[in-house]
Structure 1
Amino acid sequence: MDELTDLSDRRIAEASALAGLRFDADGLIPVVAQDVGTGRVLMVAWANREALEATLETGTVHFWSRSRGELWMKGETSGNTLTLTGLHADCDGDTLLALVRPAGPACHTGDTTCFGAGTDPATDDVLPAVWATLVDRSRQRPEGSYTVRLLDDPNLRVKKLGEETAELIQALVQDDAPRATEEAADLVYHALAALLAAGATLDDLLGELERRRG
C-alpha cells in the first residue's frame, strides 16, 4: 500500500500505482462510476489490472466481464462510453471510484443510472438527459421529429437561435421571470442541438464550464 499512502487524494494516475491496490482472489476489484458533473452514482462493475491499464491508457473506462471472462469497454456497442476524469482508491485500496463524463445513459435499460431515478440528488442530470435525447433522435431519426429537422437544417438552427435569444431578452426587459425561464429553456435546447450538429459534445461544454469555474 506504500504507493497509495503518499497520495492525499488517493488518485490513481499511472499504471505503476496499481501495484498498491488490493485485488480479490480472482484478481478483480469493484469500480464505482460516478458522474463528475452531477455527482450521481451511475453503475458498479468489476475490473482487473488489464482493464484498469486500458482505462488509464485510453481515458475511456474499461471493465472485466465475469460472465464472459473478457475485457470490455463501457459503451463499445451502444456508444454510451464513460470518459475518465479521475480514478481514486478508497482508504483500504480494495475499491475504486471512477469519476466520469458519460456520453449517454449508463444503464443497459436506457436509464441514466443503474440505480434508478429515485437516486437523483436534485435535477443535476437534466442537461445530460436532454443531450442523450438529442443524440438518440439523431441516431433513430423518428419521422416528423422537430429535433431531426433542426439537426438537418443549419438555416433553421440559426433562425431559431436568433428567435429564442430575442424572446429571452424581451422577457428579461419586461421583468417577466416565468416567461424568461421558459425562453431560457428553449434557448438552451436549441443551443445544445446546434452544438451536436456542429460536432461538439456535452463533455466539451461541461469541460469548458468547469474550466471557467476554476
Structure 2
Amino acid sequence: MKIDFNKNTDGLVPAIIQDAITKNVLMLGYMNEEAYLKTVETKKVTFFSRTKKRLWTKGEESGNFLNLVDIKNDCDNDTLLIAVDPVGPTCHKGSDTCWGDNNSSNFGFLSKLENTIAERRNLADEKKSYVASLFAKGINKIAQKVGEEAVEVVIEAKDNDEDLFLNESADLLFHYLILLQAKGYELNDIVEVLKGRDKK
C-alpha cells in the first residue's frame, strides 16, 4: 500500500477508525510510517500522539484495544480508513465513540421503520394506524399475516411480474418486523443469531 507520509510537513496522515461490524466511526487519530508499520505488525492500532510526541497504542493503559481488521487508503494516498474490532469503549471519556454515540448496529431505513412500528404500536386510536390495529388483534393475527405474505411472495417468485414480487417481498418484511416486535425482539437480535452461525 502506497501511503504519502510526506504530504504534510509533520509526516502524519489522518486515520479514521471504524467498527468493522457496525460501520460506525469511532475516532480519528494520526499515524506516521512507524505507527502504521507497528499497527500492521501487532494487529493493534497504534497512533503517533501529537501531544505525547511518541507512538501510542490505543488501549496500552486502559486495555481498550482496537484490534485491526482491515486498512484502506483513500484516492489521494494520504488518509487511512481502518476497520477494527474494538475492545470496550473507544473514547478516553468512556463512551463508545469520541462523539458520544453508542456503537450499536444501525440498519438505515430498516431501523427507521422499526422505530415507526414501535411508535405506532402504542397509538390509542387504532383506526388511525394499521400497525396499532394489527397489534390490538394479537400475536395469532400478526403471525397469520406473516404467513399470508410469505405465501404471496412464493407465488410471485414463480411468476414474471417483478414489480409484484418486490411489493409482496416488502409486505413480508414489513409484517415480519411487526412480528419480531410482538415477540419482544428486533432485527438486531436476528443478526446476532446469523453472526453466531458465520463460519470464518
Instruction: Classify the TM-score, shorter chain.
Output: 0.5 to 0.7
Give the 3 Å change call, closer, same or farther, for CA 33–210 of structure 1 in structure 2.
Answer: farther
Give the 3 Å change call, closer, same or farther, for CA 93–60 of structure 1 in structure 2.
Answer: same
Looking at structure 1, the residues matched to 78 and 37 of structure 2 have their Cα atoms a distance apart, in angstroms, of 16
Q: Normalising by the residue count of structure 1, what TM-score does the alignment of the two structures yield? A: 0.51
> How far off its partner does 1:181 sit?
3.2
Looking at structure 1, the residues matched to 84 and 105 of structure 2 have their Cα atoms a distance apart, in angstroms, of 17
> How far off its partner does 1:104 sit?
1.0
Residues matched between the structures, number: 134
Query: For residue 53 of structure 2, what is the amino acid of its counterpart?
Result: G
**Cross-structure match for 2:119:** none
Task: Kindly provide the CA deviation profile for residues 77-127 of structure 1, in whole angstroms up to 9, marking residues without a partner as x.
Answer: 111111111111111111111111101111011111101228977379xxx
- Mapping of 1:1-214 within 5 angstroms? 12=1, 17-18=2-3, 20-117=4-101, 122=106, 180-181=183-184, 209=198, 211=200
Give the 3 Å change call, closer, same or farther, for CA 43–177 of structure 1 in structure 2.
Answer: closer
Give the 3 Å change call, closer, same or farther, for CA 71–104 of structure 1 in structure 2.
Answer: same
**Contact 1:37–1:206 under 8 Å retained in 2:** no
Q: Secondary structure at the match of 2:184?
A: helix
Q: Secondary structure at the match of 2:36?
A: helix
Looking at structure 2, the residues matched to 29 and 206 of structure 1 have their Cα atoms a distance apart, in angstroms, of 33
In the alignment, structure 2 segments of 5+ residues that lack a partner are 109-138, 144-178
In the alignment, structure 1 segments of 5+ residues that lack a partner are 1-11, 125-170, 192-204
Query: For residue 21 of structure 2, what is the amino acid of its counterpart?
Result: G
> How far off its partner does 1:61 sit?
0.3
Aligned-residue sequence identity (percent) comes to 39
Give the 3 Å change call, closer, same or farther, for CA 76–206 of structure 1 in structure 2.
Answer: farther
Q: CA RMSD in A?
A: 3.8
Query: For residue 69 of structure 1, what is the amino acid of its counterpart?
Result: K
Query: For residue 83 of structure 2, what is the amino acid of its counterpart?
Result: L
> How far off its partner does 1:64 sit?
0.5
> How far off its partner does 1:180 sit?
4.1
**Contact 1:87–1:98 under 8 Å retained in 2:** yes
Looking at structure 1, the residues matched to 87 and 196 of structure 2 have their Cα atoms a distance apart, in angstroms, of 13
